[in-house]
């Protein structure tokens, strides 16, 4: 039989807050260890208390290795995003209708599995989409000005 839901709000009493922190922090470290043991994965956990005390857990004393892998992953992820953004911009240069732009973005969203993205990735995707849309608007304006100039010449 499970416990009931706990309302998540700041605990006002300092002693109760510290006791709750200690219990939850120990539980988090235990879960990280269980994840390592059951799934044979590398895990690193950092927790800073309210008093700025560091608690950490890593599998097999591999904290520096895990941190290096994390940095490499984040750096590679940024490079991939930049490449994808450049590809989208190149695809959108010839876009003449909103439907075409929508189809390109929809293909991108389906390929990237947006449902598995976190808030930061979605915010970056939103910025990229706005940037591409602005470029499409600029190209459209240039084309419209060209048509107007052509009409004036006639």
CATH of the domain at 25: 3.40.1810.10
Cβ neighbour number for residue 20 with a 10 Å cutoff: 13
Domain limits for position 20: 14-61
Domain shared by 106 and 130, yes or no: yes
Question: What's the chain's average pLDDT?
Answer: 79
What pLDDT score was predicted for residue 29? 93
**Number of structural domains found in the chain:** 2
> Could you tell me if 75 and 51 lie in one domain?
no
| CB-CB contact of 17 with 11 (8 Å) | yes
The pLDDT of residue 143 is 79
Query: Both 49 and 79 in a single domain?
Result: no
Q: What pLDDT shows up at residue 97?
A: 63
**Per residue in 61-70, pLDDT tens?**
678 888 888 8
Q: How many Cβ atoms are within 10 Å of 58's Cβ, its own excluded?
A: 18
Q: For the ranges 9-18, 108-117, 119-128, which has the lowest average pLDDT?
A: 108-117
Angle at the Cα of 22 from the Cα atoms of 18 and 25, rounded to 5 degrees:
130
Q: pLDDT of 89-120, one tens digit each?
A: 666 666 656 666 677 677 766 665 655 666 77
> Rounded to an integer, what distance in angstroms lies between the CA atom of residue 84 and that of residue 105?
11
Could you give the percent of the chain with pLDDT greater than 90?
14
Residues 21 and 85 in one domain: no
Q: Is residue 55 part of a domain?
A: yes
**Which pLDDT belongs to residue 63?**
85
Query: What is the arithmetic mean of pLDDT over 38-66?
Result: 86
């Amino acid at each position: 039989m499970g416990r009931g839901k706990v309302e998540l709000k700041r605990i006002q009493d300092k002693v109760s807050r510290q006791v709750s922190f200690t219990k939850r922090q120990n539980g988090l470290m235990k879960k990280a260890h269980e994840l390592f043991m059951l799934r044979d994965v590398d895990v690193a956990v950092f927790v800073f208390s309210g008093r700025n005390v560091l608690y950490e857990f890593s599998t097999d004393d591999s904290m520096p290795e895990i941190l290096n892998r994390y940095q490499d992953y984040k750096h590679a992820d940024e490079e991939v995003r930049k490449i994808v953004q450049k590809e989208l911009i190149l695809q959108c240069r010839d876009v003449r209708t909103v439907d075409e732009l929508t189809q390109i973005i929809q293909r991108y969203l389906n390929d990237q599995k947006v449902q598995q993205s976190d808030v930061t990735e979605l915010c970056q995707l939103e910025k990229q989409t706005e940037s591409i849309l602005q470029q499409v608007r600029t190209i459209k304006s240039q084309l419209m000005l060209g048509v107007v100039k052509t009409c004036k010449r006639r």
